[in-house]
């Protein structure tokens, strides 16, 4: 079984070589010792969420500090081709389910989108709370999938903001059931951001499609079936990863 991963503060693994020790503190140490029951002699992974990681052996285990002796580095370089999921706000926790699965599949960035047909709305005090919930989901999923790099979760965007982001991307695809071009055969750049735009339960409105296409995005389809908002993004990420990262 793969060793569990615990987070350390950003930058704390800089220059750390095999033989050195790293200390996991705070909530992470308490979780490791009291929940995961990590003990002396066990192998663990430590990562800073920004791509730096290492594998080591626990030398001392206390709810306030987990001391790990580093054996090997396990860094995760920033990818030249970044996969960005634009996930429309959706009800019933489907958007959070999409963030979780997308993180496990290697997404590099998640953009919450308040689409025209989104039933869920982030307003006032809800914005910070809802955004933090997405961040927490991404952090937990990155740890579960043993990722040294946690995906960025941006602040929510409007369609206008999204069109601007799409225009600046190396490629942008709008998942749409009426599209004729399969994502599986769409041209991919060698580097830069690739945006995957997923609509809410009611789909993307014609005006939104027009705005995104005008910004350079291409409507694409995944297959013959219509997927839920929670499924479409992760499925699309799997298609692109199979073409670019899993070869």
Return the domain boundaries, the chain.
Answer: 5-73, 81-244
Q: What average pLDDT score do residues 183-196 get?
A: 96
Q: What average pLDDT score do residues 70-96 get?
A: 95
Given a cut of 80, whether residue 1 has pLDDT beyond it is no
Domain 81-244 belongs to what topology? Alpha/beta knot (3.40.1280)
pLDDT of 210-223, one tens digit each? 999 999 999 999 98
Structure token digits, residue 88? 């429309």
Helix (H, G, I), strand (E, B), or coil: what is residue 222?
Answer: coil
- The whole-number pLDDT of residue 169 equals 98
pTM above 0.75, yes or no: yes
- The whole-number pLDDT of residue 35 equals 94
CATH code of 5-73, in short, is: 2.40.240.20
pLDDT of 89-137, one tens digit each? 998 899 999 999 999 999 999 999 999 998 888 988 889 999 999 999 9
- The whole-number pLDDT of residue 46 equals 97
CA distances from 111 to 17, 102, 211 (A): 35, 12, 17
């Amino acid at each position: 079984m793969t060793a569990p991963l615990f987070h350390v503060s950003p930058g704390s693994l800089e220059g750390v070589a095999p033989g050195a020790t790293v200390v996991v503190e705070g909530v992470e140490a308490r979780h490791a010792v009291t929940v995961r029951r990590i003990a002396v002699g066990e192998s663990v992974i430590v990562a800073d969420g920004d791509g730096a990681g290492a594998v080591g052996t626990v030398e001392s285990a206390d709810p306030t500090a987990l001391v790990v002796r580093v054996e090997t580095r396990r860094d995760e370089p920033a990818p030249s081709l970044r996969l960005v999921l634009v996930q429309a706000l959706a009800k019933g926790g489907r958007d959070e389910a999409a963030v979780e699965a997308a993180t496990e599949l290697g997404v590099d960035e998640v953009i919450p989108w308040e689409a025209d047909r989104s039933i869920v709305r982030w307003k006032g005090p809800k914005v910070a709370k809802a955004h933090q919930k997405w961040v927490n989901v991404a952090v937990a999923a990155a740890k579960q999938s043993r990722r040294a790099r946690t995906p960025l979760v941006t602040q929510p965007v409007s369609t206008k903001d999204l069109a601007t982001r799409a225009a600046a991307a190396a490629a942008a695809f709008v998942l749409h059931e009426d599209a004729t071009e399969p994502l599986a055969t769409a041209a991919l750049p060698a580097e830069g951001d690739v945006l995957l735009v997923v609509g809410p339960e009611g789909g993307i409105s014609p005006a939104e499609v027009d705005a995104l296409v005008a910004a350079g995005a291409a409507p694409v389809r995944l297959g013959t079936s219509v997927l839920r908002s929670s499924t479409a993004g992760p499925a699309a990420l799997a298609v692109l990863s199979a073409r670019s990262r899993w070869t």
